[in-house]
Structure 1
Amino acid sequence: MSTTQSRREQYSQATKAALLDAATRRFAAHGFAKTSLEDVAADIHASRGAVYHHYPSKAALFEAVVERLEAETMGRIAEQTSPAADAWEASMVALDVFLDRCCDPVYGRVVWIEAPLALGWRRWNDLQVKYGHGVVANLFEGLIAAGRLKPMPVEPMANLVFHLLCGAGQALAESSEPERPRVLAEYKQAINLLLDSLVD
């Protein structure tokens, strides 16, 4: 009985993962409006009912895709900042990972172009705060504690930098492929100049 249940759970989790993979590809290639649940189900040879078993609507499936993309991004930042020698190096690595991720056509289109329209600005902003704001605040707290930045109120500064990073993400996602390296370099320069001005 337990073995049967375990196999069912494994199959269910595999189906859910396949749905997320297929939906990610569809949303990135065609956008939210032009993707249907039938399309996603057909891509993995499943029924529409199989989709509804895991996600009650296209919006719910889309939000799950956004959450997975954001969790992957935060995971990359955590992984690549952990070997950093100090708080300043960790902050620079985190900035590079985030901006480079925003240049990815899948992450860029789904998170920065499609998500505000599909989820509505408030829900999209809630997800950005959920995954990104705490990381920014923690980096600022670490820099201040290490004496690398002037003493300052962390919450307002984290909010300002967080929204600056959101603006950079949108600009990179909306830029054309030939223009993206220039836009990336300009935003990195602008953000670094801002951070340098805060150095104690």
Structure 2
Amino acid sequence: MKKNKIETEQTIQNIIKIARYHFTEHGYTKAALEDIVKEANLTRGALYHHFQNKKGLFLAVFETVQQEVGEYVEAEAAKSNDIWVQLIRGCRAFLEGAVQSHNQRILLIDGPAVLGWDMFRKMDEKYSMNSLKEQLQLMQEKGLLKPISIEAMTHCLSGAMNEAVLWIADRRDHKEVIDEAMVVLEHLLEGLRK
């Protein structure tokens, strides 16, 4: 029984990997399920068994990308023991991860359009905002932040970073523009410092 569970999980991960490539290269509307199942060596029925439909498959791909960006943010933040530097590093990592060419179309273009605003926000909250909120709460508990609403801080900073990502994605020199955005974000964060 364990073998079947492992094989099923491997099949699901393989479909997600293949679908991610197709959604990245062709976009949601032009990615053909026939091509995805053919490359995965499956039937369309097998794909529907695991994901119900194309939108369900896209959601799984979107979550995978969100999770990877979240892990990158955590890893970059963890490179420092200074809690303030962790926040700064995490913010930069979010901007860097979201504008990676293999993430842009899924996160920034098709994500909101395909999933709808409500689902997009739920995924953003689950994979990005919750980590940001936890960091801000910890910083406030340690007396590093002004005693103002963590909810408001989280939403304002998250919104600023999401908008910055859209702006950065439209530019050619991502590194230079990320540096510019980080100067602004650091000034915003300084305003929250106790």
TM over 0.5: yes
Q: Within 1, Cα distance between the matches of 2:4 and 2:164?
A: 43
User: In 1, Cα distance between the equivalents of 2:98 and 2:65?
Assistant: 11
C-alpha deviation, 1:172, in angstroms: 2.6
User: Could you say if the C-alpha distance between residues 140 and 6 of structure 1 is closer, same or farther in structure 2, counting changes exceeding 3 Å?
Assistant: closer
CA distance in 2, matches of 1:67, 1:152: 31
Show the counterpart of 1:136.
132
CA contact (8 A) 2:72 2:97 kept: no
Match of 2:182 in 1: 188
Give TM-score, length-normalised by structure 2: 0.92
Deviation per residue, 1:3-47 (Å, 9 max, x gap): xx3332222211111100001111111100001211111222222
Q: Give the corresponding residue for 2:2.
A: 6
Partner of 1:102: 98
Mean CA deviation greater in 72-81 or 17-26: 72-81
Q: Corresponding residue for 2:146?
A: 150
- Would the aligned equivalents of 1:108 and 1:172 in 2 still touch at CA under 8 Å? no
CA distance in 2, matches of 1:182, 1:20: 32
Paired with 1:181 and 1:91, the residues of 2 have a C-alpha distance of 19
Counterparts of 1:44-123 in structure 2, within 5 Å, are: 44-123=40-119
Opposite residue 174 of structure 2, the aligned amino acid is R
Which deviates more, 97-106 or 53-62?
97-106
Distance verdict in 2 for CA 1:181–1:78, change over 3 Å:
closer
Amino acid at match of 1:77: V
Q: Give the residue type in structure 2 aligned to 1:72.
A: E
- Contact preservation (8 Å) 1:113, 1:170: no
Q: Does 1:15 align with 2:11?
A: yes
Cα distance in 2 for partners of 1:122, 1:112 equals 15
Paired AA for residue 99 in structure 2 = C
| Structure 1 alignment gaps of length 5 or more | none
User: Which of 165, 168, 189 is equivalent to 1:169?
Assistant: 165
List gaps (5 residues or longer) in structure 2: none
Q: Which amino acid aligns with 2:82?
A: D
1:27 aligns with 2:23: yes
Q: Is the 8 A contact 2:73 2:94 kept in 1?
A: yes
SS class of match (2:188): helix
8 A Cα contact 1:28 1:106, kept in partner: yes
Secondary structure class of the residue paired with 2:29? coil
Residue identity in the other structure for 1:180? H
Instruction: Quote the Cα distance in structure 2 between the aligned partners of 1:159 and 1:28.
Output: 28
Distance (Å, rounded) in 1 between the aligned partners of 2:190 and 2:41: 53
Normalized against structure 1, the TM-score is what?
0.89
